[in-house]
């Protein structure tokens, strides 16, 4: 008996299901539904799509759903699935009494051309909840999130009288609400009226009232943002996310963003410089201790806290590591080149020399480069290699901790500097048992023993048998 290994994408070390963890549209739409109080999503799909959300190893920390599902079969795709959807809507309305029902369409009903408008017209007078639907294709969760937001904009948002000098802080659902507390305080001190923080734990009424604001502060001009501008006259402003030198993590970058908001709404900008000077004074303590110390910056697509440590604190970055592969999805060469050049230029302008750039290096290559340059700390994005770092005496400021302490405000620079000082001041814990174990180079998060087991699983699950 001969075995031939298939080339397929592995999304987890120990896959429970062939497609488990695929970050598709449904995952993103569910994130939005989860952030609206009183919203119940209905997955209009075969039961396998609902099963995906139950064992989503792509993001195991996320909420799992006992997701209402229409459980479509082959017969339904041939003869129609309208009645099943109506039945499920009535069932959900009776059982949960939601304020909003979001129907999430999948491939099967999209292929047969399911007419959701007919369904909504039929059930609208039979239920107490407002009902909307989300269709369209999306291979990635962020696109699915934006698709769901567009459905909210076109089917829930209503025209409201504008409040003078008002704005919305529009964030994606995975951001913490408390991370904008300082940002809100500064805006209100400048004379702005913060209509709300979206989309994060909002009610249906909040969604309707989003149009009271004159300005939306957004990450990028998604379809729902452009629709709100055209339909409700809401302007939008986004931070210079693609400009490394204007990163919101730095004092100057955040100040520039505030000045842009002040110009857009004619606000009092005097408070900006005052707040900036207060934060800069707090940074002085850490600047004296950290200036000149060497770090390696390792990130998936951007620098993160690297800008703060170099520009505001005065640390040096001789090694830049760019990880462009995530879930086996490759960035285009032009994008990699642009990011590399931008970050290199930023680092060179502040420290006087260009860093060594490593693109998708092996763990051995990373460790070698860090030792050659005398790196004391690796900043962010390299959690999978943390045990190899520990074993080689290299300290790590990991991305998870960075997210925990991140704030939208001048205090963010202070928080990053404080945490960096704590890590640098401690002796590396290379003596720990986990740090001394023989970890696999192929799967750095696993020991060789468990890496071998993973190979066995993959061989057994992903092969074709020939006599």
Q: Do both 398 and 458 map to the same domain? A: no
Question: Residue 237's closest CA among 256, 252, 250?
Answer: 256
Q: How many Cα atoms are found within 13 Å in the side-chain-facing hemisphere of 146? A: 16
Pair 353, 267 in one domain: yes
Per the structure, the complete domain to which residue 117 belongs is given by: 25-155
State pTM to two decimals.
0.81
- Please name the helix (run of DSSP H) or strand (run of DSSP E) that holds residue 448, with its range, or none: helix 448-461
Residue-level pLDDT at 381: 58
d(CA 88, CA 45): 12
How many domains is the chain partitioned into structurally?
Answer: 4
Angle between helices 25-34 and 47-54 (to 10 degrees): 70
Structure confidence at residue 450 (pLDDT) = 64
Residue with tokens 């939208």: 408
Measured distance CA(431)–CA(455) in Å, rounded: 29
Do 195 and 84 fall into the same domain?
Answer: no
Distance CA 204, CA 156 (A): 8
Q: CB 178: neighbour CB atoms within 10 A? A: 9
| In a shared domain, residues 382 and 414 | yes
The sign one gets for the Cα dihedral 425, 427, 430, 432 is: negative
Residues 269 and 359 in one domain: yes
Give the Cα separation of 342 and 282 in Å (integer): 29
Q: Return the pLDDT at 192.
A: 97
Distance separating alpha carbons of residues 298 and 383, to the nearest angstrom: 10
> Are residue 287 and residue 426 in the same domain, yes or no?
yes
Nearest to 406 by CA among 64, 171, 148: 171
Please state, in angstroms and as integers, the Cα–Cα distance from residue 283 to each residue in 78, 395, 402, following that order: 66, 22, 17
Q: Supply the pLDDT for residue 151.
A: 94
Of 133, 155, 177, which closes a domain? 155
User: Cα–Cα distance between 304 and 284 in angstroms, integer?
Assistant: 21
How many Å apart are CA 428 and CA 435, to the nearest integer?
Answer: 10
Residue 11 lies in a domain: no
List, as one string, the DSSP characters of 146-181. Answer: HHHHHHHHHHT----PPPTTEEEEE--TTS-GGGGH
Domain membership flag for residue 10: no
- Classify residue 6: in a domain, yes or no: no
Domain-embedded: residue 291? yes
pLDDT of residue 5: 37
Helix (H) or strand (E) holding 229: helix 223-232
Same domain for 64 and 172:
no
CA 409 – CA 248 distance, rounded (Å) = 8
Cα(27)–Cα(143) distance, rounded to whole angstroms? 10
Tell me how far apart the alpha carbons of residues 431 and 454 are, in angstroms, rounded to a whole number: 27
Residues 354 and 409 in one domain: yes
Asked if residue 417 and residue 323 are part of one domain, the reply reads yes
Q: Determine how β-strand 294-299 pairs with β-strand 377-379.
A: parallel
Chunked into runs of 10 residues, the chain (467 residues) has average pLDDT values of: 34 37 71 88 83 50 66 86 92 93 88 87 92 77 84 95 96 63 95 93 93 94 94 92 78 94 96 96 95 84 75 94 62 77 90 90 88 89 66 80 83 93 76 50 57 63 44
421 and 446 within one domain: no
Tell whether 243 is covered by a domain: no
CA distance 84 to 23: 26
Alpha-carbon gap, residue 116 to 286, rounded angstroms: 58
- 310 and 458 housed in the same domain: no
| pLDDT confidence of residue 57 | 40
Q: Is residue 4 part of a domain?
A: no
Residue 224 maps to which CATH number? 3.40.50.1980
Residues 122 and 149 in one domain: yes
- Flag whether 108 is in a domain: yes
Residues 6+ apart with CB under 8 A from 263: none
User: Final residue of a domain: which of 102, 131, 155?
Assistant: 155
Per-residue DSSP letters for 284-347? Answer: HHHHHHHTT-EEEEEESSS-TTHHIIIIIS--EEEEEEE---BTTBPPPHHHHHHHHHHHHHHH
| CATH assignment at residue 370 | 3.40.50.12380
pLDDT given for residue 74 in this prediction: 87
Query: Is 16 within a domain?
Result: no
Query: Residues 6 or more apart from 356 whose CB is under 8 A from it?
Result: 318, 319, 320, 369, 373
């Amino acid at each position: 008996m001969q075995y031939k290994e298939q080339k397929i994408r592995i999304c987890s070390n120990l896959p429970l299901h062939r497609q488990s963890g695929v970050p598709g549209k449904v995952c993103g739409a569910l994130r939005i539904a989860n952030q609206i109080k009183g919203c119940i999503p209905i997955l209009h799909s075969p039961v396998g799509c609902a099963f995906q959300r139950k064992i989503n190893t792509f993001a195991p920390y996320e909420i799992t759903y006992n997701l209402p599902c229409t459980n479509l079969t082959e017969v339904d795709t041939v003869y129609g699935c309208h009645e099943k959807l109506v039945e499920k809507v009535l069932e959900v309305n009776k059982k949960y009494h939601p304020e909003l029902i979001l129907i999430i369409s999948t491939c099967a009903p999209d292929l047969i051309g399911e007419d959701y408008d007919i369904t909504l017209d039929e059930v609208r007078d039979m239920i107490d909840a407002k009902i909307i639907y989300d269709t369209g294709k999306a291979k990635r969760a962020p696109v699915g999130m934006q698709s769901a937001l567009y459905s909210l904009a076109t089917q829930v948002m209503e025209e409201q009288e504008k409040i003078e000098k008002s704005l919305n802080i529009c964030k994606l659902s995975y951001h913490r609400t408390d991370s904008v507390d300082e940002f809100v305080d500064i805006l209100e001190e400048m004379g702005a009226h913060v209509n709300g923080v979206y989309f994060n734990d909002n009610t249906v009424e909040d969604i309707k009232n989003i149009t009271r604001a004159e300005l939306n502060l957004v990450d990028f001009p998604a379809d729902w943002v452009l629709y709100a501008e055209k339909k409700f006259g809401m302007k939008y402003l986004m931070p210079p996310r693609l400009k490394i030198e204007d990163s919101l993590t730095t004092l100057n970058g955040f100040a520039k963003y505030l000045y842009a908001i002040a110009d857009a709404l004619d606000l009092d900008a005097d408070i900006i410089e005052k707040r900036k000077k207060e934060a800069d004074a707090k940074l002085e303590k850490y600047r004296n201790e950290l200036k000149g110390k060497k770090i390696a910056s390792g990130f998936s697509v951007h620098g993160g806290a690297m800008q703060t440590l170099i520009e505001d604190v005065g640390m040096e970055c001789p090694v830049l590591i760019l990880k462009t592969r995530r879930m086996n999805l490759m960035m285009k060469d032009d994008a990699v080149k642009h990011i590399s050049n931008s970050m290199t230029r930023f680092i060179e302008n502040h420290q006087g020399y260009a860093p060594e750039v490593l693109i998708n290096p092996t763990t051995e290559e990373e460790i070698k480069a860090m030792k050659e340059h005398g790196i004391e700390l690796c900043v962010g994005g390299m959690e999978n290699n943390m045990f190899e770092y520990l074993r080689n005496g290299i300290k790590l400021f990991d991305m998870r901790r960075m997210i925990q302490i991140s704030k939208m405000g001048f205090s963010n620079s202070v928080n990053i500097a404080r945490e960096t000082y704590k890590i640098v001041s401690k002796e590396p814990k290379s003596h720990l048992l986990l740090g001394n174990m023989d970890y696999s180079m192929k799967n750095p998060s696993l020991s060789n023993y468990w890496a071998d087991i993973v190979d066995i699983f993959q061989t057994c699950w992903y092969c074709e048998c020939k006599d």
